[in-house]
Amino acid sequence: MRASENIEQFGYRQELRRGVGLTDLVSYGLAFMVPIAPFAIFGLVYSRSGGMPVLAYLVGMIALLFTAASYAQMVKAFPLSGSVYNYAGRGIAPPVGFMTGWMVLLDYILVPCLLYLVASLAMHDIVPDVPVWAWLIVFVAVNTGINLRGIRMTVRLTRMMIGFELLVLGLFLLVGVWALLQGKGHGFSLSPLFNLETFSWPVMFAAVSVAVLSFIGFDGISMLVEESTGGSAQVGRAMRVALVLAGLLFVTQVWVASLLVPDPNGLLSQDSGTAFYDAAAVAGGEWLRNVTLTATALSWGVANTMVAQVAVSRLLYAMARDRQLPSFLAKVSVRHSVPANAIVLVSLVSVGIGLWMSGRSDGVDLLTSLINMGAMAAFVVLHVSVIVHYALRLGSDRLWSHLVAPLIGMGILVFVVINANVLAQMVGLVWLGAGVVALAVLYAMGRRPTLDGMPAEAVRR
Amino acid sequence: MNALPLHHDLYLIAHDQSGRPLIHLSSMSLGLAGAVLLDLALGGRVAVAEGQAAATRRAPTGDAIADGLVSSLLRHRGGRQLRYLVKKTADGIHDRTREALLGSGVLVQVSGRRLGVLPYTRYEPADIASVVRASAGARSAVEGWKQPDARCAALCGLVAVLRLDAELYLDQPSARLVGRLREIARDSSPVVGEVVTVVDALVGEAAVAVYR
């Protein structure tokens, strides 16, 4: 069925200008994921995975390919711009949508904090005289200014950003492989992919719980479904292509970096936030360290925050418009056409949490785990949505797509969540509990969750 | 007597005396599109109900944007969704409205160079009285000097949605003024309330769009 027909089935008509093709959808997904994302968390993944970051990224990619498949199914069923909040609400029931939105909010609202923190750490490495907290305030101030002025990513800017990141990555790989051929590092080895001495499933899933951070953002492609030239089918395809491309890029860079780590045993026992840059220095010297650090600061601290800000604003706006969050979050500045209240809220949260985390030695680790916890929980519900909507409600006989694949994807994610950082699990549970309380308050106030444009009978169903 | 179409009045209110837009063009375009639709609906050329719009008769208004919209609706017998229509009409409406106002002499083109170097072109009101006239109805309605008709109520609603309340130069707190303007629109007629609500929602969605 063609996408436009599909939309009209739900009482909607094609509204947004369809002008984004497969390449642009994939570019947007890559921009959100950041092709050089492992630069910042390489040390953490290396240490958690027992020196097998390549395997951790491969398992992460496979887990999220199942998630992408479920996204594709839900986008097909409800071809409307939205997030997992929308799909769970429409696919299962509005209260489930609220709880899913609440969990994914943990991910969305903390992503800018992590981006600012990582960028600040990178800049602090380049200019050690300026403390991390000062860099963090600079990054938040600059980005808040950009966002409040209504400056937005464009298709062209997205492509330029990807080009810049790929250029830096290409440079690192070229110099890295050349260095390995010259006998630097530890020479070629399969141990970053598999090492029997350190392998165990709990270790691997704990590493995956960190590594998946690099893939978070592929789901942002679903926000462009109404602008996609090929409709929902193209969105599903773009998600798969973006994930596989990102996976290949991540695997390649962490493999080369693993072979160049100056002190593998030291990194295994104590993770280092600068492990990737140290490996770059081994390969090419201080200039390559500075290039990779600068690329991380610019990609995470400026470009990616612009994309992340739009995503979190959309979620806050959608939930507030549906009266599931305070209404001030649905107010926008007409002067600059921006969700000013949401931007200011996210900036305040970023400064507060960012400053707190910058004082903790495990700040990046904890933020990463919390973000992944929110995303994984929401993705689990997404799989459930596919099963409920297709297998149970519509009685679909497509067992693989509508039952087996979501169950496998859900199973992997549950293992990842079980083996994640314990503190992150606790905070995740507290956040979930707060969500239940918020839902109860909404019911007590007579404001049971509903979704914009959803017919009343569907809400009651 | 004000002979300008509703979207021309809104255009004048939404720009300062030097022709600079007071709000973001994406928001303004949606407001202008809503104004065109409201003018047609209140003039009996388009029927609006339950989120849908359909042309009722072809009677040229003399305004290219409005006549184009009616023609487009006549090609779709089943009507169109309001949201779709407002978005579609918003595309390029700002420049087209400006050209129409230039053509009718309400605006004049002013060119020059900043610091003697950087070239600029402005589109200023030829006579400030046209701007005063554009907002006079809304001002009278808020102050209670005159009972607002449906057209005036529609303008009040769009001024509230686009947060152009300061341009009415009324000595009232902004929140109260916006509330009053919305109330006037809501109480006027279901058509006005419906279109204004759609424009309001679209302005919000434009603010959180991935790409502009």
Whether A410 maps to a domain, the answer reads: no
Region A180-199: what's the mean pLDDT?
92
Q: Does A249 touch chain B (CB under 8 A)?
A: no
Q: Is residue B121 within a helix (H) or strand (E), and if so which, with residue range? A: strand B118-125
| Total domains present in chain A | 1
Whether B114 maps to a domain, the answer reads: yes
Whether A216 maps to a domain, the answer reads: yes
Contact (CB<8Å) A227/B211: yes
Q: What is the CATH number of the domain that holds A325?
A: 1.20.1740.10
Contact (CB<8Å) B91/A17: yes
Question: A413 pLDDT band (50/70/90 cuts)?
Answer: very high
The least confident of A162-176, A333-347, A437-451, B38-52 is: A437-451
Contact (CB<8Å) B23/A335: yes
Q: Does A445 touch chain B (CB under 8 A)?
A: no
Specify the residue for token string 């739009």.
A310
- Residue A80: pLDDT over 80: no
Whether B1 maps to a domain, the answer reads: no
Whether B122 maps to a domain, the answer reads: yes
Q: What is the 3-state secondary structure (H, E, C) of A312-381?
A: HHHHHHHHHHCCCCCHHHHCCECCCCECHHHHHHHHHHHHHHHHHHHCCCCHHHHHHHHHHHHHHHHHHH
Chain B residue at shortest CA distance from A337: B207
- Residue A289: pLDDT over 60: yes
The values of phi and psi at residue B80, to 5°, are -130, 155
Contact (CB<8Å) A313/B208: yes
Whether A105 maps to a domain, the answer reads: yes
pLDDT score, position B155: 97
pLDDT score, position B79: 84
Whether B202 maps to a domain, the answer reads: yes
Cβ-based contacts of B161 with chain A (< 8 Å)? 334
Q: What average pLDDT is seen over chain A?
A: 88
Q: Give residue-wise pLDDT tens across range B133-165.
A: 999 999 999 998 888 999 999 999 999 999 999
The least confident of A75-79, A431-435, B18-22, B158-162 is: A75-79
Cβ-based contacts of A14 with chain B (< 8 Å)? 84
Whether B211 maps to a domain, the answer reads: no
Region A44-68: what's the mean pLDDT?
95
The domain in which residue B54 lies consists of 6-206
The domain in which residue A285 lies consists of 19-375+416-460
Chain B residue at shortest CA distance from A339: B207
Region A120-134: what's the mean pLDDT?
94
Residues within 8 A of A (CB atoms), B 189-208 only: 201, 203-204, 206-208
Cβ-based contacts of A334 with chain B (< 8 Å)? 23-24, 27, 161-163, 203
- Residue B78: pLDDT over 50: yes
- Residue A461: pLDDT over 60: no
Q: Does A335 touch chain B (CB under 8 A)?
A: yes
Residue type, B166: A
Q: Give residue-wise pLDDT tens across range A153-189.
A: 777 888 888 999 999 999 999 999 999 999 999 889 9
Region A340-362: what's the mean pLDDT?
93
pLDDT score, position B146: 87
User: A140: burial class by Cβ within 10 Å (0-12, 13-18, 19+)?
Assistant: buried
| Total domains present in chain B | 1
Question: B203 pLDDT band (50/70/90 cuts)?
Answer: very high
Q: What is the CATH number of the domain that holds B147?
A: 1.10.3630.10
pLDDT score, position A8: 46
Chain A residue at shortest CA distance from B86: A15
Chain A residue at shortest CA distance from B201: A321
Alpha-carbon span A97 to A88, nearest angstrom: 5
What ipTM was estimated for this complex? 0.87
pLDDT score, position A81: 62
Contact (CB<8Å) B24/A155: no
Q: Give residue-wise pLDDT tens across range B93-142.
A: 999 999 999 999 999 999 989 888 889 999 999 999 999 999 999 999 99
Cβ-based contacts of A310 with chain B (< 8 Å)? 208-210
pLDDT score, position A13: 44
Region B179-189: what's the mean pLDDT?
94
Contact (CB<8Å) A335/B84: no
Best residue of A337, A341, A344, A346 to probe chain B, by most B CBs closer than 10 Å: A337
Alpha-carbon span B184 to B194, nearest angstrom: 13
Contact (CB<8Å) B206/A337: yes
The least confident of A123-132, A143-152, A239-248 is: A143-152
- Residue A255: pLDDT over 50: yes
Region B66-83: what's the mean pLDDT?
89
The residues near A15 (Cβ < 8 Å, ≥ 6 apart) are A226, B81, B83, B84, B87
Whether B141 maps to a domain, the answer reads: yes
DSSP readout, A69-95?
Answer: HHHHHHHHHS-SS--HHHHHHHHT-HH
**Lookup: tokens for A221:** 């492609």
Question: A453 pLDDT band (50/70/90 cuts)?
Answer: low
Calculate how close chain A gets to B207, using CA atoms only, in Å.
4
The least confident of A81-95, A290-304, A361-375, A403-417 is: A81-95
Cβ-based contacts of A12 with chain B (< 8 Å)? 81
Contact (CB<8Å) A333/B207: yes
User: A414: burial class by Cβ within 10 Å (0-12, 13-18, 19+)?
Assistant: middle
pLDDT score, position A302: 87
Q: Give residue-wise pLDDT tens across range A34-48.
A: 999 999 999 999 999
Chain B residue at shortest CA distance from A342: B208
Contact (CB<8Å) B210/A16: no
pLDDT score, position A272: 83
